[in-house]
């Protein structure tokens, strides 16, 4: 999968799945820029150092992904500093779990703003660039819980389900400009985010896996790199699960 000469933007790229995606894209030849939160400066710098150690250009930007104007400016910076933009990976996400009868408005709004609105913001900013060059790859990191729901995750499941609807719509709207848009739906992946979940959730996910183990961030990254390559040029509007068989 030759991504030489391509420039990627990965939101939430400082750790977990996002960091693995950044590194794998660089291994495949892409220059990679990433967004991160100010509290993750050390982790972001480590990812950029790894990208540069692979002989590729790396860049990092502190951006609140739910801020429409800030994201518009972000895409402009990436194009200016890297010379182009070919790949957009929407990975930034958060969770504020609660059963629906206890969920606060703040918990609902925060997850929708980051996970769903943030995805819209980046696509909205990148779409004119992709249209103009008549090429582009968009990969949105959703979740199997968008397809089946999850106890205690009404906000997260709704946001990720919205992301899938957005993916399919964008695939239809941008397809004529040779832009591919797909979603990847991971199951439970061993990341820092799952540490905030009750242990019973982890054990339930482990029991659901027909392979008998949870996924690693790299398992998601490998699929993302494939979807960003010419080998996936005829794949668009799809939702591909990476879950060790949890969904089945």
pLDDT digits (tens, 9 = 90+) for 10-49: 999 999 999 999 999 999 999 999 999 999 999 999 999 9
pLDDT over 90 (residue 203):
no
Per-residue pLDDT tens over the stretch 54-63: 999 999 999 9
Q: Do 237 and 223 meet the contact criterion of CB atoms below 8 Å apart?
A: no
pLDDT over 90 (residue 198):
no
Of the chain, the percentage scoring pLDDT greater than 70 comes to 98
Q: Which of 175, 185, 186, 183 is CA-nearest to residue 233? A: 175
Q: Number of C-alpha atoms within 13 angstroms, CB side, residue 224?
A: 33
pLDDT over 80 (residue 152):
no
Per-residue pLDDT tens over the stretch 98-118: 798 998 999 999 999 999 999
Q: Which has the higher per-residue pLDDT, 16 or 93? A: 16
**pLDDT on residue 113:** 96
List active site positions.
156
**Token pair listed for 124:** 């909205």
57 SS3 class? coil
108 SS3 class? helix
45 SS3 class? helix
**pLDDT on residue 31:** 98
CATH class of residue range 7-242: alpha beta
**pLDDT on residue 95:** 78
DSSP 209: -
Q: Which has the higher per-residue pLDDT, 246 or 19? A: 19
pLDDT over 90 (residue 149):
no
pLDDT over 80 (residue 119):
yes
Whether this model's pTM surpasses 0.85: yes
**pLDDT on residue 22:** 98
Contacts of 91 (CB under 8 A, 6+ apart): 10, 11, 12, 13, 17, 18, 21, 141
- What pLDDT band is residue 192 in, cutting at 50, 70 and 90? confident
């Amino acid at each position: 999968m030759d991504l030489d000469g391509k420039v990627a933007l990965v939101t939430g790229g400082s750790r977990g799945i996002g960091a693995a995606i950044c590194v794998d894209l660089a291994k495949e030849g892409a220059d990679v820029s990433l967004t991160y939160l100010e509290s993750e400066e050390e982790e972001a710098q480590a990812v950029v150092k790894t990208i540069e150690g692979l002989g590729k250009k790396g860049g990092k930007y502190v951006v609140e992904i739910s801020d429409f104007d800030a994201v518009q400016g972000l895409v402009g910076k990436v194009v200016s500093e890297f010379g182009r933009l070919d790949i957009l990976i929407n990975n930034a996400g958060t969770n504020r779990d609660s059963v629906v009868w206890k969920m606060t408005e703040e918990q609902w709004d925060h997850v929708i703003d980051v996970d769903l609105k943030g995805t819209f913001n980046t696509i909205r900013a990148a779409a004119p660039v992709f249209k103009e060059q008549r090429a582009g790859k968009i990969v949105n990191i959703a979740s199997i819980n968008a397809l089946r729901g999850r106890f205690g995750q009404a906000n997260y499941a709704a946001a990720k389900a919205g992301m899938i609807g957005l993916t399919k719509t964008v695939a239809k709207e941008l397809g004529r400009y040779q832009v591919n848009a797909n979603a990847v739906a991971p199951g439970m992946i061993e990341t820092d985010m799952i540490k905030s979940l009750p242990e019973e959730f982890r054990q339930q996910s482990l029991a659901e896996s027909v392979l008998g183990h949870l996924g690693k961030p790299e398992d998601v990254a490998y699929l993302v790199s494939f979807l960003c390559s010419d080998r996936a040029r005829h794949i668009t509007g799809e939702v591909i699960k990476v879950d060790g068989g949890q969904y089945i």
